[in-house]
Amino acid sequence: MSVRLGAIADIHGNDVALRAVLADAGRFGVERWWALGDLVLFGPRPAEVLQILRELPGIGMLRGNTDRYVLTGEQPAPHETVADAAGSIDLVRRYAGMAAGIGWTRGVLDQAGLLGVLDDWPAQLRLRLPGGASVLGVHASPRADDGQGIEPGIADEELGPLLAGADAEVVIGGHTHAATDRVVGGVRALNPGSTGLPRRSGIASWLLLGDDGDGLTVTIRDVPFDAEAVVADLRRRRHPQTEFVSSVLAGLLGAGDAVEPVAEEGALGGGEGGEVGEGGAQGYGGGGRARDGSARVGEDGGAD
C-alpha cells in the first residue's frame, strides 16, 4: 500500500496559479490533496478556486487566518479595529483596503452559494501513513492560524515550541509563503510555499509527500504561472485591492505588507524588483521543476 499526498496552501483566490499547479501534478498520481488555508481572500476568483478544490480526489481543506477574516470581518494586528487604526494614515489605509477586499470576497462567495463552505473547515487535518508515521496539517502552526509559522529562516529554538504538542512525526503548514523542509526535535516540518501569492514573481509551489511503507519522500515543486493574466482579471473584475495584489504578484510587496498603490502602468511591467526571472513566469507550458534537496525520511521522522 502507498500514499501520494499533494499539499497546497495560500492560494488566495488565484485560479490561474492553482490550475498550473494541478496541471504539473497530473503526472505524479496524487491520490489525495490537502489545501492548508488562506484559500480565497485577495485574488480575483475565490469561487472558482473552491469549485476546483472540491473536485480533487480525497480533498481536505482547513481554515487559514484570511479565511477567518472573510467569515468574521476580523482583521490582523496592528489594525484589528477602527480604533486601532485611528491616528495613523497608513493603518487607516490598511484597514480600509482589507475591509474592501473582505467585503468583495464575501459577496462573490455568497452569490455563488459557497460562503457557508468556509464554516465547515477545521483548524487541522490528520493522516496516518502506511509506514506508520502520523501527519498533521495546519495553517500557521499547531497552536494558531496566524503569527509565526514554518519557514527556512526561523531558528530551531523558535520553531520547536511551535511544533510542541503536535502529536505527529510530520507537520505540514502554510502561512509564511516560504517552501520549507526541516527536521526540528524529531519532527519533520514542511511548508509547500504559496500557490497564489508566492514570494517569487510568477512561480507557484506545491509539495508532494509519498509513502510506500518504506519511508517518506518529500518533493517541493516550482511551477510558473501567468501572473499578468491574474492582474488583468483583477482589473476586469474591479477588485478593490487590485494594486496591492498586483504588487505582491510582482514581488514588490509581501502579502502581509501595507496596502500601497503602484503605478498604473502595471506592477508587472518590468523595472527593478518587478521583472520576471528565468523560468517563464508568463506561461506554464514547460511544466514545473523540483527544488534541490528532496530527501527521504524514516518512520522515526529523522532524515536518512
Query: Tens of pLDDT along the chain (304 residues)?
Result: 789 999 999 999 999 999 999 999 999 999 999 999 999 999 999 999 999 999 999 999 999 999 999 999 998 877 777 777 777 888 888 889 999 999 999 999 999 999 999 999 999 999 999 999 999 999 999 999 999 999 999 999 999 999 998 999 999 999 999 999 999 999 999 999 999 999 999 999 999 999 988 889 999 999 999 999 999 999 999 999 999 999 999 988 776 553 333 333 333 433 333 222 233 322 323 457 776 444 433 333 333 3
Count other C-beta atoms under 10 Å from residue 123's C-beta: 15
pTM for this model (two decimals): 0.84
Backbone angles phi, psi at 133, to 5 degrees: -70, 140
- Whether 47 and 114 have beta carbons less than 8 Å apart is answered as yes
- Give the pLDDT confidence score for residue 215 in this predicted structure: 86
For residue 69, which of 19, 139, 16, 7 has the smallest C-alpha distance? Answer: 139
Give the pairing of strands 187-191 and 180-184: antiparallel
- Positive or negative CA dihedral for 233, 109, 143, 206? negative
Cross-strand pairs, 182: 189
Distance of CA 144 to the CA centre of its chain: 16
Amino acid type, 19: R
H or E element, residue 162? helix 156-163
Q: At what angle do helices 89-111 and 65-72 cross, to 10 degrees?
A: 80
- Give the pLDDT confidence score for residue 199 in this predicted structure: 94
Distance of CA 212 to the CA centre of its chain: 27
- Give the pLDDT confidence score for residue 132 in this predicted structure: 92
R_g (Cα) of the chain, nearest Å: 19
Coil, helix or strand at residue 16: helix
- Give the pLDDT confidence score for residue 71 in this predicted structure: 97
For residue 17, which of 173, 227, 208 has the smallest C-alpha distance? Answer: 227
Question: Nine-digit cell at 113?
Answer: 452559494
- Give the pLDDT confidence score for residue 294 in this predicted structure: 44
- Give the pLDDT confidence score for residue 291 in this predicted structure: 67
Amino acid type, 293: G
Coil, helix or strand at residue 155: coil
| Complete DSSP assignment for 83-113 | HHHTT-HHHHHHHHHHHHHHHHHHHHHHHTT
Distance of CA 108 to the CA centre of its chain: 20
Distance of CA 156 to the CA centre of its chain: 22
- Give the pLDDT confidence score for residue 255 in this predicted structure: 64
- Give the pLDDT confidence score for residue 272 in this predicted structure: 30
Question: Nine-digit cell at 204?
Answer: 507557484
Count other C-beta atoms under 10 Å from residue 149's C-beta: 24
- Whether 304 and 297 have beta carbons less than 8 Å apart is answered as yes
Amino acid type, 177: H
